[in-house]
Amino acid sequence: MKIKLTSVYVNDQEKALRFYTEVLGLSKKADFSRGPFRWLTVTSPDDPDGTELQLALDDDPAAKAFAAAKLAKNQPALMLFTDDLEGDCERIKSRGGELRMPPTETTGSTIAMLADGCGNLVQLTQLAKW
């Protein structure tokens, strides 16, 4: 078995698509609608057939409550890993991204946090090299 898909709940799929592609640099993988339902996923341009992230609309009470609770506790809804945290943070800021926490050393990694503008925090992580 392998993980192929995970989801993050967003309050605006179009805005989320812009953030995750134009600001973070991910690639749109799937985008189709059936009635009011829209299936929208992005993936890493370095691994286009790898794990997909669904940008799921938070149109049900449970999804809204979950996303709001994570945000209220300052907990990321998503963690992305990088080998160049400083460079990625600079690139993200130059593309209009808002860092909520600058790169900060923690045990075993350096992390940064940013808002996706759609109700979520995204943590960027660079693992320490031992």
pLDDT at 63: 87
pLDDT at 21: 98
pLDDT at 91: 97
Q: Which residue carries 């993200």 as its tokens?
A: 92
Structural domains of the chain, ranges and CATH numbers in brackets: 5-127 (3.10.180.10)
**67 three-state secondary structure:** helix
pLDDT at 130: 74
pLDDT at 87: 97
pLDDT at 123: 98
Q: How many CA atoms lie within 13 A of 87 on its CB side?
A: 6
Q: What are the mean pLDDT values of the chain's consecutive 10-residue runs (130 residues total)?
A: 95 97 97 95 95 95 90 95 97 95 96 96 94
Nearest to 120 by CA among 103, 93, 97: 97
Amino acid at 87: G
DSSP annotation string for 11-29: S-HHHHHHIIIIIT--EEE
pLDDT at 60: 87
Sequence length of the chain is: 130
Q: Which residues neighbour 91 within 8 Å (Cβ) at sequence distance 6 or greater?
A: 25
Amino acid at 24: L
pLDDT at 129: 86
pLDDT at 41: 98
